[in-house]
Amino acid sequence: MEFEDIETNEKIEYKDSNNSWPKSSYDDYLEDHMRDDRELNEYSRETGEISTEKIDSLSFPEPRDRNGLIEKLKKSRDRIRRLHEVALLLSKTDNEERIFDLIVDAAQKILNFDIYSLDIVEGENLVVKRISDSVPDNDDTVYSKERGVAGRTLREGRTLVFNNLRDSSEARPRSSDYRSALSLPVGAYGIFQTISTVENAFDDEDIDLAELLTAYTAEAISRVRAKREIFRLTYHDCLTGALSRYGLTEFAEMEIDKARKCATPLALIMLDVDNFKCMNDSLGHIYGDYILSWVVATIKEVVRKSDLVIRWGGDEFIIMLSGSDSETSIITTERIRKHIAEKSTFEGKSLTISAGLTLYKGETDSIDSMIARADGALYEAKRDGKNCFRVS
C-alpha cells in the first residue's frame, strides 16, 4: 500500500514485515512524527535496512490511525502557514487598530479561539480594545494593570494556562460556563486572553501558536509606536507639542495645494503672547516654558483637530484653518483671544495675546506671502494696544 509523505508529498511504499524497508523519506517521517525515533537506533545507515526482528518489536499505528495522524499533521502545517501570512500582514501595518483586528481575526480563524479579550496598557490601566460579543457585559472596559490574572500575566511576562477554572482561586471568569483559559502577554503592551467552555481545551500546539501570534503582535505595536515617535520628534516642537517650523514646511504646502485644487477657503493666524519677555524675565524661564505649553493647549481647545497649530519661534504661533472663510476665521480668532484672556491667571496677572489674520488669495498666493501678511497684521494689533487682532 502507499501513503503520502507529509513533508515531500511523495508516495511511499509500505512493505510487510517479511521485506526490508527502503531508505526513503519515510525514515524522516518516522523520526519526526511517529515519536519512535529512540527505538530506531538499530537502523542500519550502511545498508539502509531495519532488521525484521526490530520491525516486529515496533508498534506501528493501524492504517486508519495513520491516515488520521497525517490529516492532523496537514492541519497543523496549514495553521502555521496561515499564521505566517498574518505575521506578514502585521509587518506591513501602520495602524494599531488594524493590528488589534488582525490578532482577533487570527485567533478566531486559525486558532479557533471564539471567546477572547484584547487589553492594552494605557498609563496605569489596561483598556479593553477588543472583546467577544458573547462575553457578558459588565462595563469593565478600564481596570488597573495590577489586577487579577491579567495583572499577573503582565508582571510575569509569561503565558498562564488554566485547564480548569473551577480549581483556580485566582481566576474570576465572567460566566460560570467558562471552564479553561489562556492568558498571554502581548510584550509589555497588553494581554490577550481566550476562554473555552470545555476543560483542558488548549493543547501544546494551541499554546505555541498563540504565543507566536502575540509575539508578532507585540513586534508590530513596537514598530508602529516607534514610527509614530519618530514622526513626533521630526515634525513637532518638543516643548509645546505644536508642529515645528519643519512641520509647517511639510504640511502647509499640502493645505495650500488642497485650497488651490478644491477651491476651498484657507485662513492663517499669527499670534504671540503679550509682554511675554517681561513675564519670562520676572517669573523665570521654566515658568515661561509652562506658559507657552499652556497657550498651545488652550488654542487646541478652540480650534478643530484638523487645524494646524505651529510654533513659529519664541512666543509666536501660527494657526492654519483649513476650509475657513473670512467670517468663520474672524470668529475663531476672536474665540482664541477671548478664551486665553478669560482662562489665564499667572501670579495674579491675566495673560493676553495679539494676532494677525489673513486669507488665502488664490493660485498666485503662497505660504510665505500669507505669513508675511499675517505678521504685518500682528504688528498692527501690537501697535493698537495689544489683546486684539487685525485682518490683512
Residue 336 has pLDDT above 90, yes or no: yes
- What does the pLDDT average to over 34-56? 49
Residue with cell 505649553: 293
CA of 379: how far to CAs of 248, 272, 360, 372, 385, in Å?
A: 21, 10, 19, 11, 10
Express each pLDDT in 250-303 by its tens digit: 888 899 999 999 889 999 999 999 998 888 888 888 888 999 999 999 999 999
Distance separating alpha carbons of residues 87 and 227, to the nearest angstrom: 18
Express each pLDDT in 168-222 by its tens digit: 777 777 777 888 999 999 999 999 999 898 899 999 999 999 999 999 999 999 9
Contacts of 356 (CB under 8 A, 6+ apart): 269, 270, 271, 373, 374, 375, 376, 377, 378, 379, 380, 381, 389, 390, 391, 392
The residue among 75 and 268 whose pLDDT is bigger is: 268
pTM: 0.66
Helix/strand/coil for 271: strand
Indicate the pLDDT class of residue 46, thresholds 50, 70 and 90: very low
Helix/strand/coil for 90: helix
Instruction: Please give the domain boundaries of the chain with CATH numbers for all domains.
Output: 2-60 (no CATH), 92-231 (3.30.450.40), 245-391 (3.30.70.270)
